[in-house]
Structure 1
Amino acid sequence: MAKEIERKFLVKGDFKDAASKQMRITQGYLSSVPERTVRVRIKGDKGFITIKGIGSSSGASRYEWEKEIPVREVNELLEICEPGVIDKTRYQVPFSGLTFEVDEFYGDNEGLTVAEVELSSEDQAFEKPEWLGEEVTGDVKYYNSMLMKNPYKNW
Structure 2
Amino acid sequence: MVEIERKFLVTSNSYKNEAFKSTRIIQGFLNTHKDRTVRIRLKGNTGFITVKGLSTNDGLSRFEWEKGLLKEEAEALLKLCEPGVIDKIRYEVKFGDHIFEVDEFYSENEGLVIAEVELNTENEAFLKPDWLGEEVTGTIKYYNSQLSKRPFKTW
Gaps of at least 5 residues in structure 1 are: none
Quick one: distance in 1 between partners of 2:45 and 2:122? 32
Q: Which residue of structure 1 lines up, in the alignment, with residue 120 of structure 2?
A: 120
SS of 1:80 mapped into structure 2: coil
Aligned-partner Cα distance in 2 for 1:34–1:117:
22
Q: Distance in 2 between matches of 1:34 and 1:65?
A: 16
Match of 2:5 in 1: 6
SS at match of 1:55: coil
Number of corresponding residues: 154
Fraction of identical pairs, as percent: 58
Q: TM-score, normalised by structure 2?
A: 0.98
Corresponding residue number in structure 2 for 1:111? 111
After TM superposition, list the pairs within 5 Å mapping 1:15-34 onto structure 2: 15-34=15-34
Q: How does 1:1-155 map to 2 (within 5 A)?
A: 2-13=1-12, 14-155=14-155
1:4 deviates by 0.3
Q: CA RMSD in A?
A: 0.6
Q: Helix, strand or coil for the counterpart of 2:4? A: strand
Q: Could you tell me how far 1:74 is from its partner in structure 2?
A: 1.0
Alpha-carbon offset, residue 43 of structure 1: 0.4
Segments of 5+ residues of structure 2 without an aligned counterpart are: none
Q: CA deviation at 1:73?
A: 1.1
Amino acid at match of 2:11: K
* CA displacement at 1:123 relative to structure 2: 1.3
TM-score, normalisation: structure 1: 0.98
2:96 and 2:69 map into 1 onto residues whose CA distance is: 33
